[in-house]
């Protein structure tokens, strides 16, 4: 079976899929954990995604709950899907309560672990056609930004495949930078 176009949008499995085409992609699966909290004091309205300089982030969730997380250096590479309430109690909760004192009393409702597809070159998406493999397109290495960037990326890759001039110029994220080892400068990764 053949196809004139293939899009590798395999998330944490991107490097594995890339290997089937003979590519070495700088994308690793890194475990990230998120915790769902019921706070004693409820915000009056929805909170925007709030990111502290340390990388701790939180936002409101349906039902008056709070989602809380933080990417950490010791997060393991690999396909790990367990979450650890000790991480919440000992690391995240004290930092959250110091920032929002009203959240010093809360209940950990649940947690979960998933994978970021981390681009180890520069933490940014790899978008576009691989220069050495016509028809092989990449939408990988979002390092946690895929949900936010997905709609624009889908449109961009579609327009490239259709031979149209892209509505958005996302060429800065092209795979050429991977081959040339030229990382983008990015300070706002969480």
Residue-wise pLDDT for 59-84, tens only, equals 999 999 999 999 999 999 999 999 99
Least confident of 112-121, 135-144, 158-167, 178-187: 178-187
Residues of the chain with CATH 3.30.9.10: 30-115
Decide the pairing of beta strands 106-119 and 65-69. Answer: unpaired
pLDDT band at 188 (very low <50, low <70, confident <90, very high): low
Phi/psi class of residue 7: alpha, beta or left (left: φ > 0; alpha: ψ in -120 to 50)? beta
Vertex 26: Cα angle to 145 and 181 (nearest 5)? 105
Is 30-115 assigned to CATH 3.30.1050.10? no
Looking at residues 161-183, what average pLDDT do you find? 96
Report which DSSP code applies to 133. S
Looking at residues 182-188, what average pLDDT do you find? 79
The predicted model scores a pTM of 0.87
- Tell me if 63 sits within 8 A of 107, measured CB to CB: no
């Amino acid at each position: 079976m053949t196809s004139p176009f293939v899009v590798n949008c395999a998330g944490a499995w991107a490097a594995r899929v890339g290997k089937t085409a003979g590519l070495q992609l700088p994308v690793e699966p890194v475990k990230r954990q998120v915790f769902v909290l019921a706070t004693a004091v409820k915000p009056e309205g929805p909170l925007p995604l709030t990111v502290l300089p340390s990388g701790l982030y939180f936002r409101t969730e349906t039902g008056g709950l709070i989602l809380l997380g933080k990417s950490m250096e010791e997060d393991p590479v690999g396909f790990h899907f367990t979450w650890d309430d000790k991480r919440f109690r000992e690391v995240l909760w004290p930092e959250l309560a110091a920032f929002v004192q009203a959240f010093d009393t809360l209940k950990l409702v649940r947690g979960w672990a998933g994978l970021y597809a981390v681009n180890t070159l520069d933490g940014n998406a790899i978008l576009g056609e691989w220069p050495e493999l016509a028809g092989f397109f990449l939408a990988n290495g979002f390092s946690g930004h895929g949900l936010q960037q997905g709609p624009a990326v889908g449109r961009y890759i579609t327009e490239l495949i259709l031979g149209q001039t892209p509505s958005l110029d996302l060429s800065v994220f092209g795979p050429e930078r991977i081959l040339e080892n030229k990382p983008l400068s990015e300070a706002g990764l969480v």
